[in-house]
Structure formats: structure tokens, C-alpha cells
Amino acid sequence: MLWWGAGALAFWAAATLVAQEPGRNLQFSAFGTLGAARGDTREVGFRRDASSSKGIYDRTAWDLDTRFGVQASGRIGENLLGTFQVVSRLRSDNTFRPRPTWASLAWSASPGLLVRAGLLSFDILPLGDLANVGFTYLWVRPPVEVFAPVPLTGMRGLDAEWTFLLDGGGALQVKAFAGSLVDHVPADHLGEWDVRGGRVFGGAVKFTAGRFRARLGGTVLRFPNNLPEPVPALQGYLRTFAGLLGDPGIAASADAFDTRGRTLRSANGSVAWDGDPWQVQGALSHAASDSILFQPAWSGFASLGCRVGPVVPFGMFARNVTRRTPLPYLGALPALTGPGAPAARGLAEALRTLARGRGVDQHTLSAGLRWDFAPTADLKVQVDRIRSHDATGLFYNPRPGGPATWDGRETVLSLTLDFTLGGGR
């Protein structure tokens, strides 16, 4: 903790000096969060999103929400803007190695059209590219039921945004994007799933009128590879048993665990009102896939805050529900007798364990307080009461077979300091 505290102060001081004396055509900005969080169980680990290969337990942790970022932007001529952003946050290898999250050129093709190319963030959820900038939202962290299942950080590609000014002062923005994935995704107890090169495309429509905002969006992801071991080995065993038993249904069940070439489709909508004193926000999302490993899921949240001077008390409810579908046909595999029976039963149990990790039925009731003690800095405290009706859910489960004693309930207490500095474009 001492190292992080000193690093945060040095980072803040250096960024402040840079921000005070920007170049004529170059702007720097910085943002960060210093956080502490603690759960009340050691059976499962609470985590911010699925990009983490561990979680926090019943001891204070400083790495769950802590993150720092810097951004530089500069104009090239009249119509081009270059932007480069680096973020240091907890990665799947449990390090804080900085990683570029934005490296793009933006072209103002006309007064209402902006085209960008390069390394871009996803615009597939209401927060867009601001999920790492804690100062921009009310809570300690985005609701895990909605944001945790999407551990992807960005794409290499293009996006274009058209803005239409409406009568009465409103604005309509239409956005489209296409590109390729850039991530390795942690797969619990399996290793890292390489999805680099997977195709992604989608779009969003945003409406703004005064303090009211609304958004509708959709995305299609196409995965380039299968999951890592032991899933391919399990598929091989299934195909071997299918040949021995002459049962094509078992072979078909092996094919159902493929992810190469499979797609994940999602649609979401959100609304927000940032008035005085009330702040209201909500979102609803649905995702479905043609792979049995990604079951159809609904997720959403509703948040309410009320500003009293520099302080905003708030409450939030979030939920994620996954529709379970049965495992693929296994035929006589579990009932097999003879020398291959132990291997068959072990294989069937491994498949059931894998299936248990697919399901989510979880909700969280949160209450907290945000104190804007400076124009560009805040302190937040938040209590989350979580109920998971599945032993794995969105938590990190150190035992693949499921914790034996956990009752599906956890309380998480969090405290964060957020800040932004400078004036990046």
C-alpha cells in the first residue's frame, strides 16, 4: 500500500505540472482511482470484471479498483486529431503493467461527421470508453452484473459518428464501428483464451436533450479460436467414446463446445437524467450466442442519486440472469460399465463442472456516498449486498467444483479517491 500511495502522489504531482504548461498544439491529461475494498467471505472472490483471474476475499485489497491513466492529444492541421492513452490497472496476470488503450487518428470530415481509425475502445455499453475514469460516474465502480461479463478492452479498426442538431436544442448521434479484437481473455481454471483477430462490428444511436440522455446499441462478436485446455482434451475424449460406443450424439456434443467461428450478439439500451438535485440512470442489456458456452443472458441496473451541495447519496440495484440450457446429449456415457467406466464418469463430471461455470443468477443492492471535495476530485464510499443463486456466478471460485459452505451472500465495503487532471481532447 505504501508503494501505491507514494506512486499515486508522485503521479498526481507530475501530471499537474505537465497539465499546467501544455504545448501550443499538444494537450495532456491524467486520471486515476486509488481504491480499497473488502469482502466478508473467503469462499469466493468478488471481482470488478471477468478480466481478473482472482478476486478479493475477507481482507482489505488495494488492487480491485485502483487504476491510473495518461492521455496525450494533438492536432495535425485543421481536421486531424491524434490521441494516445495508456492505462495501468490490474491485469489478468495480476500485474499493473501499463497498456495502451487508445491510439487513434480522428478526422473531422465535415461539421457533423467524425471518423476515427486505430486502437479504439468499445462503445458496446452505456459508459463507452469511460469505464476506467472513476470521476465520470456516480458509483465506486460500474455495476458488475452489467459490465463484468464483458472483459474486452478494445479493437483495432474504424468508427464513424454522425451528429444531427435538432430543433429545441437536442442532438442525435449515430455511430457505427468495425474492427478486430486485441485481447487475451482469462478463462477461469483454464488459462487465457486468445481472441485476438476476432471480428467485431456494431453501432449505437444516442439522443441528448438538455440533461436527458438515451442510447440504443448493438454489437456482434465473432470468435477466432476455441477455448484453451482442457476443453479441447474433453472434446477429444468425447469423440473417442463416440467411436467406441457408435453413438453420433456424443460426437455432436463435442462439437457443441467449439467457439471458433461462433458469434456473440448483444443489444442494450440506457437512459439517464442528470438534473438538480436528482441523478437517475438505468440500462438493460441482452446477449445471446450460437455457442453452448455462452448462454442467453439479461442484465440491467437502476441508479438514483440526490445532490446535497458537494455530497451525493445514491442507491443502485443491478441484476444478471442467465437462461440455462441442458448439456449436450451424452447418451450412455455416464452409465457406461467396464474398464472405461471411471474415465467416462470423470468426463461427465468434468462437463457438469464446466456447465456450472456458465450460469449466473445474481443481484446486488448498493448504497453509497460521493463527496466532490474539489472540482476534479472526489471521495466515494459504497456498500454492496450481493446475492448469488449460483455457486460460481460472477465471482472467482477457487474450487471449480463449487464452494461447499458458501450461502451465496456477500457484503463488500469499498472506498475510492478519483481524480482527473489536464484538458485532453
Q: What is the pLDDT of residues 305-334, one digit of tens each?
A: 999 999 999 999 999 998 776 666 666 666
d(CA 188, CA 209): 43
Tens of pLDDT, residue by residue over 71-104, are 999 988 888 999 999 999 988 777 888 999 999 9
Calculate the average pLDDT of the chain.
85
Q: Residue 261: left if φ>0, alpha if ψ -120 to 50, beta else—which one?
A: left
Least trusted range by pLDDT, from 4-18, 94-108, 326-340: 4-18
CA-closest candidate to residue 272, choices 363, 207, 318: 207
Question: In the structure, what pLDDT confidence band is assigned to residue 245 with cuts at 50, 70 and 90?
Answer: confident
Provide the pLDDT for residue 21: 47
The answer to whether 403 and 393 have CB atoms below 8 angstroms apart is no
Whether 17 shows a pLDDT value over 50: the answer reads: no
Distance CA 65, CA 68 (A): 10
Q: Is 93 left (phi over 0), alpha (psi -120 to 50) or beta?
A: alpha
Half-sphere exposure of 357 (CA within 13 A, CB side): 17
pLDDT the model gives residue 5: 45
Cα–Cα distance for residue pair 150/125, rounded to 1 Å: 9
State pTM to two decimals. Answer: 0.87
Lowest mean pLDDT of 56-65, 122-131, 360-369, name the range: 122-131
DSSP three-state, residue 257: coil
Q: Find out whether 307 and 277 touch, Cβ atoms under 8 Å.
A: yes
Confidence grade of residue 295 (pLDDT, cut at 50, 70, 90): confident
Backbone angles phi, psi at 200, to 5 degrees: -140, 140
Confidence of residue 190 (pLDDT cuts 50, 70, 90): confident
**Per mean pLDDT, which range of 72-81, 84-93, 257-266, 336-345 is the poorest?**
336-345
Instruction: Write the pLDDT tens digit of every residue in 195-211.
Output: 999 999 999 999 999 99
- For cell 501499463, name the residue: 98
All structural domains of the chain: 2-225+260-324+359-422 (2.40.160.10)
For the chain, the C-alpha Rg in angstroms (whole number) is 23
Span 129-138, pLDDT tens digits: 788 899 999 9
What does the alpha-carbon distance between residue 109 and residue 106 come to, in Å, rounded to a whole number? Answer: 9
Predicted local distance difference test score (pLDDT) of residue 4:
44
- As to burial, measured by CB atoms within 10 angstroms (0-12 exposed, 13-18 middle, 19+ buried), residue 82 is middle
Q: What DSSP letter does each residue of 171-223 carry, written as one string?
A: EEEEEEEEEEE--EEEETTTEEEE-TT-EEEEEEEEEEETTEEEEEEEEEEE-
